[in-house]
């Protein structure tokens, strides 16, 4: 990594000044970071953040925010592991910019501006391809990127956009709806789409509703209108709406497109939904929990079993042969059974499909990891003195 002359010296001064700043001296995250001040992991993470994102975001990494769902020390280790993979060439050049953008999104609070924009005297360019308001979700997305790298997957891209066709009755096809995939990794020459969510247990975001309108092209009908006054409002840390990430995304639509990509072969090698299992205390003392595996099952059954309320060619959409009614409920049930058999022929259909969903805590391995897999990420988490 090429660094400007004086980069390291300035970095040391900036971090030391942050640690001494009376305004943040009692910040629990700063106190946490001070315990690992002389650990190499902190400096590797700081170098990557400052060099590729900006000094503001690097200092935010140390400051944290109230209600953060991943401890500062763990975040520093995760970034250090990302840095290691970049140095080793494990992350393709084509994916690097998406990694840097995710790093920026993960610490995009307290007026942080990327250095490349600072020099040009302009504000952070928040493109529509990424959600810059869901900081907690971005941090979990970063953690899952590191986790899958640690168990032998190759990173393909982050927030990659696809236009997948929907095959309607009457031989009408529309590919105007986007599917933006959180993380794409690869193993055994198969690309796997990872959808990651960080939501509180009481949130009912696993919507079973998805309305279509066909007017020459397909449009996604939005249930909520934008509030013009708050359209450009930045959501920061604990101020964010806990049950909405602001993207207007629809879980059922996302899973429909994921199924369309996967077809009926190697489904569990092609798609996976991961939900964060967390526990943290808010500033008012209230304890908040994420979605555990038991709760997750109850939330996603509708996504798995219920046919979308639109007439589409089921065999063509999900890539299988069926000759007794392309748009019928029987065709849908046939698809459910075929997919379940591919995922796990020993389970009943619903249980098989549930294997595509998993709630995990940060730093734990997902189901895809082999029994003998070593969590390489753990070695990068600094241990406080």
Residues 181-226: tens digit of each pLDDT: 999 999 999 999 999 999 888 876 566 655 544 333 333 433 333 4
Q: Is 380 within a domain?
A: no
**Which of these ranges, 242-251, 317-326, 347-356, has the smallest mean pLDDT?**
242-251
- Statement to judge: residues 73 and 216 lie in one domain: no
Q: Is 384 within a domain?
A: no
Going by C-alpha positions, the residue among 326, 302, 303 that lies closest to residue 195 is 303
- Statement to judge: residues 119 and 261 lie in one domain: no
Q: Is 145 within a domain?
A: no
- Statement to judge: residues 93 and 163 lie in one domain: no
Structure tokens given for 35: 């315990």
Q: What is d(CA 49, CA 45) in angstroms, rounded to the nearest whole number?
A: 6
Question: Considering 87, 107, 126, which residue would you say is the last residue of a domain?
Answer: 126
Structure tokens given for 44: 């590797």
- In degrees, rounded to 5, the angle at the alpha carbon of residue 55 between the alpha carbons of residues 49 and 61 is 55
Predicted confidence (pLDDT) at residue 242 exceeds the cutoff of 70:
no
Question: Considering 126, 142, 171, which residue would you say is the last residue of a domain?
Answer: 126
Q: Is 148 within a domain?
A: no
- Contact of 355 with 367, CB cutoff 8 Å: yes
Question: Considering 75, 108, 126, which residue would you say is the last residue of a domain?
Answer: 126
- Contact of 242 with 203, CB cutoff 8 Å: yes
- Contact of 104 with 125, CB cutoff 8 Å: no
Q: What does the pLDDT read at residue 110?
A: 77
Place of tokens 């379940």: 340
- Contact of 124 with 237, CB cutoff 8 Å: no
Q: Is the dihedral of CA 264, 269, 271, 274 positive or negative?
A: positive
Q: Is 136 within a domain?
A: no
- Statement to judge: residues 193 and 117 lie in one domain: no
Q: 24 to each of 30, 53, 60, 185, 351, how far by Cα in Å? A: 7, 22, 11, 38, 49
Q: What is d(CA 351, CA 196) in angstroms, rounded to the nearest whole number?
A: 20
Q: What is d(CA 66, CA 121) in angstroms, rounded to the nearest whole number?
A: 29
Predicted confidence (pLDDT) at residue 177 exceeds the cutoff of 50:
yes
Q: Is the dihedral of CA 52, 56, 57, 61 positive or negative?
A: positive
Q: What is d(CA 105, CA 129) in angstroms, rounded to the nearest whole number?
A: 12
Helix 7-20 to helix 40-52 angle, to the nearest 10 degrees? Answer: 110
For the chain, the domain total comes to 2
- Statement to judge: residues 216 and 353 lie in one domain: yes
Q: What does the pLDDT read at residue 209?
A: 58
Q: What is d(CA 14, CA 365) in angstroms, rounded to the nearest whole number?
A: 35
Helix 72-87 to helix 55-63 angle, to the nearest 10 degrees? Answer: 140
Structure tokens given for 81: 């592991």
- Statement to judge: residues 192 and 336 lie in one domain: yes
Domain that holds residue 118: 7-126
- Statement to judge: residues 110 and 160 lie in one domain: no
Predicted confidence (pLDDT) at residue 308 exceeds the cutoff of 90:
no
Q: What does the pLDDT read at residue 221?
A: 34
SS3 of residue 373 by DSSP: coil
Q: Is 150 within a domain?
A: no
**Which of these ranges, 104-113, 214-223, 311-320, has the smallest mean pLDDT?**
214-223
Q: Is 352 within a domain?
A: yes
Q: 308 to each of 265, 291, 327, how far by Cα in Å? A: 21, 24, 11
- Statement to judge: residues 213 and 102 lie in one domain: no
- Statement to judge: residues 120 and 162 lie in one domain: no
Structure tokens given for 361: 């805590």
Other CB atoms closer than 10 Å to residue 319's CB: what's the count? Answer: 15
Q: Is 325 within a domain?
A: yes
pLDDT mean over 287-316:
90
What are the phi and psi torsion angles at 134 (to 5°)? -90, 75
- Statement to judge: residues 332 and 212 lie in one domain: yes
- Contact of 63 with 30, CB cutoff 8 Å: yes
- Statement to judge: residues 116 and 161 lie in one domain: no
Q: What does the pLDDT read at residue 238?
A: 43
Q: Model's pTM, two decimal places?
A: 0.87
- In degrees, rounded to 5, the angle at the alpha carbon of residue 273 between the alpha carbons of residues 297 and 188 is 130
- Statement to judge: residues 220 and 281 lie in one domain: yes
Residues 6-38: tens digit of each pLDDT: 999 999 999 998 888 777 656 778 888 889 999
């Amino acid at each position: 990594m090429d660094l400007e002359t004086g980069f390291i010296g300035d970095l040391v001064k900036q971090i030391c000044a942050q640690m001494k700043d009376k305004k943040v001296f009692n910040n629990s995250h700063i106190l946490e970071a001070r315990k690992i001040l002389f650990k190499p992991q902190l400096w590797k993470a700081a170098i990557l953040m400052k060099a590729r994102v900006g000094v503001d975001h690097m200092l935010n990494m140390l400051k944290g925010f109230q209600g953060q769902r991943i401890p500062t020390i763990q975040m520093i280790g995760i970034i250090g592991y990302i840095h290691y993979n970049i140095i080793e060439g494990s992350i393709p050049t084509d994916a690097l910019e998406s990694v840097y953008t995710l790093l920026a999104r993960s610490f995009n609070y307290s007026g942080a501006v990327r250095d490349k924009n600072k020099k040009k005297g302009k504000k952070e360019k928040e493109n529509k391809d990424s959600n810059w308001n869901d900081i907690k979700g971005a941090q979990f997305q970063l953690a899952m990127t590191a986790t899958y790298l640690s168990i032998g997957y190759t990173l393909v891209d982050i927030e990659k956009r696809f236009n997948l066709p929907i095959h309607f009755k009457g031989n009408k096809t529309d590919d105007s709806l986007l599917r933006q995939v959180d993380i794409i990794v690869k193993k055994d020459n198969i690309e796997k789409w990872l959808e990651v969510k960080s939501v509180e247990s009481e949130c009912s975001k696993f919507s079973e509703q998805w309305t279509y309108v066909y007017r020459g092209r397909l449009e996604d009908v939005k249930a909520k209108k934008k509030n013009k006054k708050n359209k450009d409002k930045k959501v920061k840390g604990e101020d964010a709406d806990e049950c909405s990430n602001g993207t207007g995304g629809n879980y059922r639509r996302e899973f429909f497109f994921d199924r369309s990509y996967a077809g009926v072969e190697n489904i569990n090698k092609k798609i996976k939904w991961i939900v964060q299992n967390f526990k943290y205390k808010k500033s008012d003392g209230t304890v908040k929990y994420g979605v555990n595996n038991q709760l997750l099952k109850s939330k996603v059954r509708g996504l798995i079993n219920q046919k979308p309320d639109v007439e589409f060619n089921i065999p063509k959409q999900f890539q299988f042969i069926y000759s007794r009614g392309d748009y019928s409920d029987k065709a849908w049930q046939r698809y459910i059974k075929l997919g379940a058999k591919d995922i796990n022929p020993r389970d009943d259909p619903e249980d098989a499909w549930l294997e595509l969903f998993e709630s995990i805590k940060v730093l734990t391995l997902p189901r895809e990891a082999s029994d003998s897999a070593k969590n390489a990420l753990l070695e990068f988490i600094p241990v406080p003195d």
